Amino acid sequence: MKQERADQIPHIHQDATENGHAAALPATDALAIRYTELPEAKAGEPLAEEWNTYRREIGRLLAEGQQGRHVVINGSEIIGIYDSWEKARQAGLKRFHLEPFFVHSIRDREPYLHIRGLNLPCPS
Amino acid sequence: MPQLTFPVTPAGLVVPTWIGLSGTATSALVASGQPITPPVQARGLLDTGSDVTVVASSLLKRLAIPIATVTATHTVAGQVKVNLFEISLAITEPAQPGSPWLTEPDLLIMELTTVLPDVDVLIGLDVLLRNKLLLDGPGGLFKLEF
C-alpha cells in the first residue's frame, strides 16, 4: 500500500506540470538594503562612529563616482579611498596595525548575508 | 587535485578547521616586528545555506582579531548590523598524517554572536564555491577537492 502511494507520486507531479498547474515562480533577485536605508549604529557598538560616518558620506561618495572603490575610515575621518579591498586593508594595517579601523566597499546597496542561523530562526 | 575525505556525522558535514590572523594582518605584524598569535583549532561545519562564513565571537576574541568592517542585513526581526572580520582559515584531516591543507589566507567572515552548541565555524558558499564539494549520501562520506 505504502509502495503504491510512493509509485503514484512521480505521476502526480508530472501531471501537475503537464496540465499547467505549475505556475512560473517569481525570479529570485539578490536582495539588498539601499544606502539610504542603512540603520544607524548606536554608541558603544563596534565601529559605530565609523559606520555612521559612512552612512553620512555614502551619498556624496556615490555622487562622486566612487561606487566599487573601498573607503578606509577612522573615527569620523576618511583616511583614503582605494581601488581594491586588499589595498584598503593594507593601507589601514600599515597605519593602525591591529587597532580597529573601518574598511568598506562603496556601494548603493548592501547585499543581504544569508546565514541559516541568523535568517532562519526557530519560529517558536 | 588535492582532496580531503570526511564522514558525514549526525552533526552534518563537520570538518576540522583552523582559524588565525589574516595573511594581510600577519604580513603587517611581521613587518613591524610584532608577535603573531598562532591559529586555533575549531569545529567547522560546511553550510551551503550560508552566503558567508561565520565564526564564533569567542574565537575571534581569543585570537584578538580586530573588526574589519560592519554591514547591515535583514532578518525576520528587521534590519540588523553585523560585524565582519578578516581571518585566515584552513581545513585538513589531522588524523591522517600528510593530509593536504585547504587554506584561505584572507577571508572576510561574519561574527556569530549566538553560541551554537556543537559548531564554532559555519563554512559558507564564499569558501565552497571556490572548491569542489562531493557528497556521497548513501556512502556516508563527503569530499573536498581543491
Mutation test of the interface with chain B: which of A97, A98, A115, choosing the one with the most B Cβ atoms within 10 A?
A115
Q: Do the chains contact at A119 and B70, CB–CB below 8 Å?
A: no
- Three-class DSSP category at A55: helix
- CB distance B52 to B120 below 8 Å: no
- CB distance A113 to B82 below 8 Å: yes
Q: Do the chains contact at A98 and B24, CB–CB below 8 Å?
A: no
CA distance to partner chain B, nearest, from residue A20 (Å): 31
Q: Which residues of B touch A111 (CB under 8 A)?
A: 51
Q: Do the chains contact at A110 and B24, CB–CB below 8 Å?
A: no
Q: What is the DSSP string of B18-80?
A: EEEE-HHHHHHHHHTT---PPPEEEEEEE-TT-SS-EEEHHHHHHTTPPEEEEEEEEETTEEE
The size of the A-B interface in CB pairs under 8 A is 107
- CB distance B104 to B123 below 8 Å: no
Where does residue B139 rank: exposed (0-12), middle (13-18), buried (19+ CB within 10 A)?
exposed
CA distance to partner chain B, nearest, from residue A69 (Å): 15
Confidence of residue A119 (pLDDT cuts 50, 70, 90): very low
Q: Which of B24, B47, B51 sits opposite A86 (nearest CB)?
A: B24
Residue B34: pLDDT above 90? no
Q: Which three cell numbers stand for residue A64?
A: 562622486
Average pLDDT value for residue range B122-144 = 97
Residues near A13 by beta carbon (within 8 Å), at least 6 away in sequence: none
Q: Which three cell numbers stand for residue B126?
A: 564564499
Q: Which of B32, B72, B80 sits opposite A97 (nearest CB)?
A: B32
Q: Do the chains contact at A113 and B82, CB–CB below 8 Å?
A: yes
Residue B122: pLDDT above 80? yes
Q: Which of A39, A97, A111 sits opposite B79 (nearest CB)?
A: A39
**Position of cell 561574527?**
B111
Q: What is the DSSP string of A20-83?
A: T--PPPPP-PPPEEEGGGPPPPPTTSTTHHHHHHHHHHHHHHHHTT-TT-EEEEETTEEEEEES
Please choose, from the candidates A108, A109, A71, the residue with its C-alpha nearest in 3D space to the C-alpha of residue A87: A71
Average pLDDT value for residue range B29-40 = 90
B42-73 residue pLDDT tens: 999 999 989 999 999 999 999 999 999 999 88
Residue A61's pLDDT is what?
98
pLDDT greater at residue B74 or residue B2? B2
Residue A123: pLDDT above 80? no
Q: Do the chains contact at A115 and B86, CB–CB below 8 Å?
A: no
Average pLDDT value for residue range B111-130 = 91
CATH of the domain at B133: 2.40.70.10
Q: What percent of chain A has pLDDT over 70?
A: 85
**Residue in chain A lying closest to B37 (CA):** A98
A10-64 residue pLDDT tens: 888 888 778 766 667 777 667 789 999 999 999 999 999 999 999 999 999 999 9
User: What angle do helix axes B23-31 and A85-96 make, rounded to 10 degrees?
Assistant: 30
Average pLDDT value for residue range B77-100 = 91
Q: Provide the number of structural domains found in chain B.
A: 1
Q: Tell me the average pLDDT of chain A.
A: 86
* Enclosing domain of residue B73: 3-145
Confidence of residue B76 (pLDDT cuts 50, 70, 90): low
The residue ranges of every structural domain in chain A are: 46-110
- CB distance B120 to B44 below 8 Å: yes
Residue A28's pLDDT is what?
65
> For chain A, first and last CA: distance in Å?
36
pTM (predicted TM-score): 0.84
H or E segment at A17? helix A2-18
